[in-house]
Amino acid sequence: MWPTTWSSERPIRRVGRIAGRTTEAHTCGAQRDEVTLEDAGLNVTLPDGNPGYFNYYWLRDNCPSSFDPETRERAFDIFGLPAAPRPAAARVEADTLVIEWSGEDHTSHHPLALLAEHARGERRHDPADLPRTPWYADHHPDITRVSQPRLLASEAERRRWMEALLVEGVAIVTDMPDTDEALPETALLIGQIRPTFFGPYFDARVHVQPTNLAYTSKALELHTDVPSEEHAPGIQFLHCRANSVAGGLNLFADGTAVADDLRATDPEAFRLLAETDVPFYKEHRGIDMRARQRVIELDRHGEVSGVTISQHMADVFDLPQRVLDDYYPAFVRFGRMLQDEKYVMRFTLQAGECITFDNRRVVHGREAYSATSGERHLRGTYTDRSELWGIYRAMVSEGRFG
């Protein structure tokens, strides 16, 4: 963000002016200090000696004075300018570009070091944009584990947890109290509770009148949750309150690892799954929820950032049948790969553990279990990815970890 203070104590070294529609540069002294004005923007020498070009609208809109010092939000209204912004004069003073704007009583002071960050039109650095590490069936012993009381007490532990979620998409919180409060207390550390049409929490155990396969003792195929909502929830929490039944092994797989392997072995199938929207739905207590999703999600780098798959919430694919000639084999190939022993972690989540995972990257399921052999109760909720990213960015940029 832009600073709110700058120094005007140092002498003017360079000046550029617009005379009518012609452009001229005033170059007193070394060439590297030159400012030249064009019709739509200006050129200025940056601290590294390279030239930088900046558009006049951008310079006016992002004048450091445009931002409210308390909220850091832009308080300037560029729509209110009477005419396109143009400099009456521009010069470099010490390490600052100074622009006197034509037609308004306003002067901008842009630190050259900050201009340099935008000279190449590159996206702002994002501390939360960490490279993902794929994992496979043998990952269970290596899953990042963090103790819930330590999470509550230690920001360094919270950072370790968040980094595991960003990089590997999964972590286990241990030592969870056997209370209803423990789950929101934990989830709120990385975002607001994100309700779905099932409500803010759900209880995966045998229900008398189940509305979802999760509420039975039947096997649950590998899936991501709630793709029938426009934005499926990003982070899922499953707090194991009891698990003494026979069977019911928990299944997890890294969907991005599987999708990366599909890309390497069958690029056309990968392309179809990454480019085709397919419908998901859920009819539930007075709501007919529908959304279209891509099975493979790509990030801005073109890398696989997630998957969305759920056979029990997949609607009838309403694509042209000729398209389905190609789509279905790709869909089935990917679904079979997800189930491959190479990828699927199988273990029993223990009472007192809460597995936390990226619901749009990690697929989960369970084997069938005997409902009469004991008790099995997982209490779940969600937060969103963007709040995880936002809280992590703020922690990193504020340097709160020694």
Could you list the residues that contact Fe ion (CB under 5 A)?
Answer: 225
Question: Any idea which residue has 């279990």 for tokens?
Answer: 369
Q: Considering the complex, what minimum distance in angstroms separates the CB of residue 347 from Fe ion?
A: 16
Tell me whether residue 225 or residue 229 sits nearer to Fe ion (CB atom).
Answer: 225
Q: Tokens standing for 269?
A: 């199938």
Which residue's entry shows tokens 């900050």?
114
Sequence-distant (6+) residues with CB within 8 A of 302 are: none
Cβ of residue 209: shortest distance to Fe ion, in angstroms? 19
- Of 237 and 334, CB closest to Fe ion: 237
- Closer CB to Fe ion, 110 or 366, in the complex: 366
CB 349, CB 238: distance < 8 Å:
yes
Q: How far is the CB of 254 from Fe ion (least distance, A)?
A: 16
Q: Which is nearer to Fe ion, 225 or 358 (CB)?
A: 225
Three-state DSSP at 316 gives: coil
CB of 214 to Fe ion, least distance (A): 6
What is the closest distance, in whole angstroms, from the C-beta atom of residue 7 to Fe ion in the complex? Answer: 57
CB 102 within 8 A of CB 86: yes
| Residue 144 structure tokens | 């990042």
Picking from 135, 139, 168, 144, the residue whose alpha carbon sits closest to that of residue 346 is: 139
Does residue 291 contact residue 227 with C-beta atoms inside 8 Å?
yes
Residue nearest to Fe ion (CB): 225
Q: Nearer Cβ to Fe ion, position 225 or 254?
A: 225
Task: Give the residue with the Cβ less far from Fe ion, 177 or 200.
Answer: 200
With contact defined as beta carbons under 8 Å apart, do 37 and 16 qualify?
yes
Minimum separation from the CB atom of position 175 to Fe ion (A): 24
